Amino acid sequence: MALPRGNALGSLRRLRSPAWAAVLPGAIVIGTFAPLGAYSFALGLLVLGVMVTPPLAIVAALGVVRGPRAAPLVLLIAAGALVTFAGGPSRELSATVLTALGALALGAALARLIPGRWVLVGFACMCALDVALLAMGAGKSSALVFARAAAHVPGPMFDQARLGRVALDYPDLVLSAALGGFVAGQQGQRSAAALVTILAAMCMLLAPAHAMWPATVPVAMTLIALRTFGLPRTVKPLVPEAQPAPAV
């Protein structure tokens, strides 16, 4: 959330429409129910992730991450090499880096495509569906189908970010990246990143061991908090004070 530059992928603004807000809750619905009805769909999504994540990570490194492009490019190349040739924790961490960069590109794109007044609607619907489906047990059933399908895909998976026993699914990463894209270049960006981190850590501490918890909740709560306190605000450039005219 702290990485996107202001107006990243700004050329997508010409395609803006309220319909893009439906992508957020739609990703939860399709990702949960479609694999339950067709095992091949889960396998296809995993293969699609393997194919599109590296190009999306390149887009993120070149067009989304703020600051000099050399650093994210070096990180991208190193992660690509480790995920191809290394194993164990190094491969897992590298796959997580590539997955996060791919999600960053998609989130920045959605930030340009969804009109500002529809942002809260999309976030709230996605969060509500996430909570409801996990409470119903559908989310866990879908995760089991994806786990079975992953056994038939050789090489690294880019469907989630994983560090040890903690894992975040791809839609959760995209939602966080979208919020970062919405507040990029504004005063609320660092506050949003810090607040999401704190809320996510609290959720993990309070959640029962080995339980699936709705990772969309910290992001939605952060957006509500930012809107409540009037953030984000556009950063205004400093204007130098006018100098008095020299005396004649």
Q: Which pLDDT belongs to residue 174?
A: 92
- For residue 46, the SS3 value is helix
Task: Please report where in the chains the tokens 């605000």 appear, as a residue.
Answer: 233
Q: Which pLDDT belongs to residue 247?
A: 46
Query: Which residue from 31, 27, 45, 202 is spatially nearest to 123, judged by alpha carbons?
Result: 27
Task: List per-block mean pLDDT (blocks of 10 residues) for the chain, which spans 248 residues.
Answer: 88 93 90 79 86 93 89 91 86 91 94 91 91 83 83 82 81 91 84 87 76 83 82 47 45
Q: How far does CA 135 lie from the centroid of its chain?
A: 23
Q: Which amino acid is at 153?
A: V
Give the residue ranges of DSSP H helices in the chain.
Answer: 23-37, 39-63, 70-85, 88-113, 119-136, 138-150, 170-183, 188-206, 216-228
Joined tokens for residue 103: 């999600």
Joined tokens for residue 115: 């009109």
Q: Which pLDDT belongs to residue 235?
A: 44
Q: Which pLDDT belongs to residue 241?
A: 40
**Model's pTM, two decimal places?**
0.85
